[in-house]
A and B are shown apart, each in its own frame.
Chain A
Amino acid sequence: MSRYILRRLIAMPFLVLGIVTIAFLITTVTKGDPLTAIVAEQQMSNPEVVAAAKARWGLDRPLPERYMIYLGNLLSGDLGTSFITKRNVGTDILYRLPATLELVFAAMIFGTTLGIVLGVLAAYFRNSLIDHGARLFALFGSSLPVFWSGLGLLFIFSVMLNWLPGPGRVDARLALPPGITGFLTIDSLLAGDWTVFKDALWHLLLPAFVLGWTVSGTISRLVRANMLDVMSREFVLTARAKGASEFRVVIVHALRNTMVPTLTVIGYSFAYLITGAVLTETIFSWPGMGSYAVEAARALDFPAIIGVTIVGGLAFLVTNLITDILYVVANPRVRLS
């Protein structure tokens, strides 16, 4: 088992290098001229200003040299300076990433719990009202665009009913606790600040549900299909013949056997949401990675684009690694290979 994980760990640096290289090269093949992001429009005809800008940002050097410089900086933890914010991209991302992670974690908790529960119930009560209800819920979750469901839920729960706060991560008037983890809910708990904790949690609820809903749709359908398959296997009958309760049969025997494909989807969804929650972050004014990525792309802010791409790639690598490790826990047969 340790060798299995070790092999994946050894492969990691090479995969990271691949991601960095591709992210770097993609920006060079785009048609857009990054100078438009740096130099004001009326100065573009001024060759001196343009040359100075090129020299300042290293754009006058040949591509291989720029690549080597970038790699060198990266090794010392420097992701470069954003064309737009003029701050270090790493600093920008470190500010944005926790917000996204907090949202995505919360969404995954919603989505996974809801997805697994609905999937199990739908399979167990196949063709019943519960099954049809779960199917409809999943269908809406995965097919309603987030900007529609997000706005709709905001309108209902925030505007009409006034149960939940509007967009944003926290009430701007509140003094925030010191950032230890970057997760507002956790930091406020650590600081013992209940007001901020409650406010942050209420803000988190709706966007996390909207994101989680999309995920729960996929998971519940997958769990249902796998449960139907597993429930017809003989070991389920054996468990019943032993005198196990239905709950035990379903949860301990059947559900555990559907975990491998489910883990795959959970891992994939998690990694995807880290850079893919753009629409939700936009609608809920969530200061996360998605909105940062959109701003960077719109402005041809190459260092920021590369930075976001690398972080997104790393997110996939890390979640894949964790998923692989969990496979071993979930399925003893993996341990042999």
Chain B
Amino acid sequence: MSAQISSARSGAVDKAGEQEPLLSIRGLRVGFRRAGDQFEAVRGIDLDVAKGEVVGIVGESGSGKSVGMLAALGLTSKNAVVTGSVRFNGDELVGKSSREMRKIRGARIAMIFQDPLSSLNPVMTVGAQIAEAVRLHQRVTRKQAMARAVELLHLVAIPQPERRVNQYPHEFSGGMRQRAVIAMAVANDPDLLIADEPTTALDVTVQAQILAVLRSLQERLGLGLVLITHDLGVVAGHADRVAVVYSGRVVEQAGVSELFADPRHPYTRGLIASIPNLEESRERLFSIDGSPPALGRLPGGCAFHPRCIYAEARCRTEDPPLHDIGGRFSACHFATTLPPFHSAALAAAELDSGSMAP
């Protein structure tokens, strides 16, 4: 474990160029106690986000990617046990009091959520909710905060912000609501924005608009952006670096082009192969056999081995740590010896037939 941490950290330092990254997560674990039972939703997340960098976190629903980020912000429920280290601007967040965390949340680190329909309070005007975010962290009058809210709505390209500011969420469309949520998130010029599936609940055309808004803000404000998603397309188009999460752990971390060109973990390969391809008409979409393990019922060894076509005896007993394979990381015993990866479509065909097994 300690070797893993040190190697991961040295890699991160390379990346950020001698200075500590904006956000640095090491060995983050989140356990829940329920009716005497204890299970771990997050079993060790390592992640770095540099200033102004866009990092994608990819994984299936229930893989722990959202819970991990919520835990980093101290937003998990009372029965959660969070261990590990989350350093933000060199400041350790795990173990901070809730009062100290409140000063950071919404001010230095903002987070937005999946469903714009329910992430705004239905009985408060949109403006009042944005102004609240401003007034929670800045000493300004109500009027100044409302003026700032108008400004922010303008910033996220909502037309007629002076009128819109006094409307209620139900008077906004889904895309508009998500824009308002983003406006609220950047109200205090945070350093880091964590977006948890920000486009999942939206129409495809609106998705593109929202991502464009996020990206332009990220560039303009120099935000570090964490994009939590299950959509590899979003990651491919917007992230600088990607962390792939499987059953509560980061299994691969690499620059976005490296990852797509040459994935070094069988799970990543499966994910990329299952992206629908418009040019190549295949009989059916590729999918990884089996389903992710249920919480608290992890198989021994590597959590992915029951679904892995490369699995060997060692994988059933030994859980591979996330290790450095030349400036990138993989948690596979065979990370460096996996056969070459050709293209998504070809890989899908090969993975399907299982002929690539070493």
Interface, chain A (partner B; CB < 8 A):
233-235, 237-246, 253, 256-257, 259, 330-333, 336
Residue of B111, B115, B137, B170 near A241 (CB, 8 A) is B111
Confirm or deny: B141 has a beta carbon within 8 angstroms of a beta carbon on chain A: no
Give A242 to B119 CA distance when docked, in angstroms: 12
Q: Are A241 and B107 in contact, with the CB atoms below 8 A?
A: no
Q: Knowing A242-B106, A243-B103, say if A257 contacts B121 (CB, 8 Å).
A: yes
A298–B350 CA distance with the chains assembled, in angstroms: 91
Query: Is A332 within 8 A of B122, CB to CB?
Result: yes
- Enumerate chain B interface residues (CB-CB to A < 8 A): 73, 75, 98, 102-107, 110-115, 118-125, 132-133, 136-137, 168, 170, 181, 184-185
In the complex the two chains form, what is the Cα distance from A242 to B183 in whole Å?
Answer: 12
Nearest 5 pairs of A and B residues by beta carbon: A243-B106, A242-B106, A234-B118, A234-B119, A243-B105
Question: For A233, what are the chain B residues with a Cβ–Cβ distance below 8 Å?
Answer: 118
Closest beta carbon of chain B to A241's beta carbon, Å: 4
CB distance from A335 to the nearest CB of B (A): 9
**Are A235 and B170 closer than 8 Å at their CB atoms?**
no
* CB nearest to A240 among chain B residues: B75
The residue that B122 contacts in the complex, of A244, A245, A246, A257, with Cβ under 8 A, is A257
Listed residue (B73, B107, B111) with the most chain A CB atoms within 10 angstroms of its CB: B111
Measured CB to CB, the nearest residue on chain B to A124 is B78
Q: List 30 A-B contacts (CB under 8 A).
A: A235-B119, A235-B120, A235-B122, A237-B113, A238-B119, A238-B121, A239-B121, A241-B106, A241-B111, A241-B113, A241-B185, A243-B102, A243-B103, A243-B104, A244-B102, A244-B106, A246-B98, A253-B121, A256-B121, A257-B122, A257-B123, A330-B123, A331-B122, A331-B123, A332-B123, A332-B125, A332-B168, A333-B122, A333-B168, A333-B170
A237 touching B75 in the complex, CB below 8 Å, given contacts A242-B184, A332-B168: yes
CB contacts between A and B, total, < 8 Å: 76
Are B113 and A238 closer than 8 Å at their CB atoms?
yes
Among A234, A239, A332, contact of B170 (Cβ-Cβ < 8 Å): A332
A256 to B123, CA, bound (A): 7
Q: Once the chains bind, are A241 and B102 in contact (CB under 8 Å)?
A: no
Please determine whether B75 and A238 come into contact, CB atoms closer than 8 angstroms.
no
Distance from B61 Cβ to chain A, minimum over Cβ atoms (Å)? 16
Q: Which residues of B contact A240 (CB under 8 A)?
A: 75, 105
